[in-house]
Amino acid sequence: MSGGYIGKILFVNLSTGMIEEEVLSEQICRDFIGGYGIGARVLYSRQKAGVDPLGPENILGFVTGPLTGTPVPTGTRFSVVAKSPLTGGWGDANSGGYFGPYLKFAGYDGVFFTGISPKPVYILIDNGSVDIKDASHLWGKDTYETEDTLLGLYDQSHVACIGPAGEKLSLIAGIMTDHGSYAARSGLGAVMGSKKLKAVVVLGNKDVPIFDNIAVDSIRAEQIKIWRMPRPSGQSHMERMNKYGTSHGAYESAHNGDSPVKNWGGIGVVDIPDRSSIHYDVFAARVVKGYGCWHCPLRCKGILKAGEGEYPYVAGSRRPEYETIAVFGTNCGNIHTESIMMANDICNRAGIDTLSTGGVIAFAMELYENGILNKQDTGDIDLEWGNHEAMIAMAIKVANREGLGGILADGVKIAAERIGKGAEKYAVHIGGQELGMHDPKAPSRTQSWPPAARYQMDATPGRHTTGF
């Protein structure tokens, strides 16, 4: 097969240890575009209706698209797909980094898992060779420790893994790669944990076939030229992304009505009058090194120096991006810079979705404000709006499934059902999924129509990046 696909997909039954390789037909690739499309085709054609999302029959797939691993700008992405334990419907999560390209370089367009391993395992895919390896020594480790251990064993490899949140089947757990590229949504980290699959390791040097290299190089050059064109602000898109990533959006959105405030019930200019501490230059000042996904010229990610004061996150943690800043910032009534970066680091290491974690904490804060939760419920944590110390304490409890955090760790819908007392009134979600940090009523700078319809109607509800 030519034109962006290796032409092979892999199926691994973790219950039996059976590994099978299948040809990926050109017709499938034409009919179902990209990793998302192929993943949907495989699940809907091979998975029974009504399966338990955390049971052996749920299919978990890591799938690439035709641009992954090619010179096309941002050709780095891969999709993770499965039945979502959070919503009970179609689940997908998307990530950049290096894992997607290297899955192709290892010889496959996708890998799908069924069954449940009798013990913790990881999968090694090395230039077409596939092995199931014991991961007992990795179980319990956070995502950074897991990745570093495996990178030490396999030179030039890349890793997708879960942390303790996925192992403990938190329904808001995700899948981490490259210490900060995160397939976060739909609770697919819990699906991976239910299968006792700690990590997938990929390495290889196979070429991704391209039909017309000259045309692809031309497209890349033209796109980079557009990104380098100055904007009215004076900075080009590339300069802005290089320096700030998406963190630049939080300061603007705090007052323009885009970012939610106090669990979607507040108003930025009223409740957060001073937004100076979430200005993009404040976050940029903490960055010691910029980096990017595989061959992406935007290089929009940032590595942080060690945390200051009461939040000593270690050097090498990742700068939070817009969604994370908004959910642990305005949505919790909080503008404390270091606490937002600490919360991001807690979630990254535990392997838990920052959007959902910040969402459940804001939900708990509103319950606390309305007397539905008290200090006895919270473990003596004073969950008042803007109390960044309380926010961090609860983030740790959610990540570890401790006390009230064990209830919140399955998202606001299920948490509201368990708490009762009218808590469902304050649970902001669609189908069980917490929303992206963009007001459903408000069009953004990049879209002239509001996201309300796609929040409700997309196959993966509440998502800010799909259904355009």
Cα separation, 283 vs 338, in Å, equals 9
* Burial 275-294, CB ≥16 within 10 A → b, else e: beebbbeebbebbeebebbb
* pLDDT number for residue 445: 54
Instruction: Record the pTM.
Output: 0.95
Rounded to the nearest integer, the mean pLDDT of the chain is 94
pLDDT: which is higher, 467 or 7: 7
Gap between the Cα atoms of 260 and 270, Å rounded? 13
Q: What pLDDT is stored for residue 453 in this prediction? A: 80
User: What average pLDDT does this structure show over 401-416?
Assistant: 98
Q: Does domain 8-203 have CATH number 3.60.9.10?
A: yes
The candidate with the shortest Cα–Cα distance to 63, out of 41, 82, 39, is: 39
Is 468's pLDDT higher than 60? Answer: no
pLDDT of residue 449: 67
pLDDT digits (tens, 9 = 90+) for 73-96: 888 999 999 999 999 999 999 999
Quick one: pLDDT at residue 287? 96
Within 10 A of 50 (CB to CB), how many other CB atoms are there?
8
- Stretch 32-54: mean pLDDT, rounded? 95
3-state secondary structure the chain: CCCCCCCEEEEEECCCCCEEEEECCHHHHHHCCHHHHHHHHHHHHHCCCCCCCCCCCCCEEEEECCCCCCCCCCCCCEEEEEECCCCCCEEEEEECCCHHHHHHHCCCCEEEEECCCCCCEEEEEECCEEEEEECCCCCCCCHHHHHHHHHHHCCCCEEEECCHHHHCCCCCECEEECCCEEECHHHHHHHHHHCCEEEEEEECCCCCCCCCHHHHHHHHHHHHHHHCCECCCCCEHHHHHHHHCCCHHHHHHHHHCCCCCCCCCCCHHHHCCCCHHHCHHHHHCCEEEEECCCCCCCCCEEEECCCCCCCCCCCCCECCCHHHHHHHCHHHCCCCHHHHHHHHHHHHHHCECHHHHHHHHHHHHHHHHCCCCCHHHHCCCCCCCCCHHHHHHHHHHHHHCCCHHHHHCCCHHHHHHHHCCCHHHHCCCECCECCCCCCCCCCCCCCCCCCHHHHHHCCCCCCCCCCC
Question: What's the pLDDT score for residue 39?
Answer: 97
Cβ partners under 8 Å of residue 27, min gap 6? none
Mean pLDDT of 321-341: 97
pLDDT at 448: 60
pLDDT tens sequence across 286-306: 999 999 999 999 999 999 999
Please give the Cα distance from 423 to 466 (Å, whole number): 29
Residues of each domain in the chain carrying CATH 3.60.9.10:
8-203
Q: Name which of 110, 104, 39 is nearest 76 in CA terms.
A: 104
User: What pLDDT, on the 0 to 100 scale, is given for residue 442?
Assistant: 67
Taking a C-beta distance cutoff of 8 angstroms, is the pair 404, 394 a contact? Answer: yes
pLDDT in tens, 86-142: 999 999 999 999 999 999 999 999 999 999 999 999 999 999 999 999 999 999 999
Residues 21-48 as b or e (16 or more Cβ within 10 Å = b): eeebeeebbeebebbbbbbbebbeeebe
Average pLDDT over residues 15-32: 95
CATH class of 230-457: mainly alpha
Asked if pLDDT for residue 371 goes beyond 60, the answer is yes
Tens digits of per-residue pLDDT, 163-208? 999 999 999 999 999 999 999 999 999 999 999 999 999 999 999 9
Can you tell me the distance from the alpha carbon of 430 to that of 422, in angstroms, rounded to the nearest whole number?
Answer: 18
Residue 466 has pLDDT above 60, yes or no: yes
When pLDDT is averaged across residues 389-418 and rounded to a whole number, the result is 98
In the chain, list all ranges with CATH 1.10.569.10.
230-457
Percent of the chain with pLDDT over 90: 87
pLDDT at 108: 98
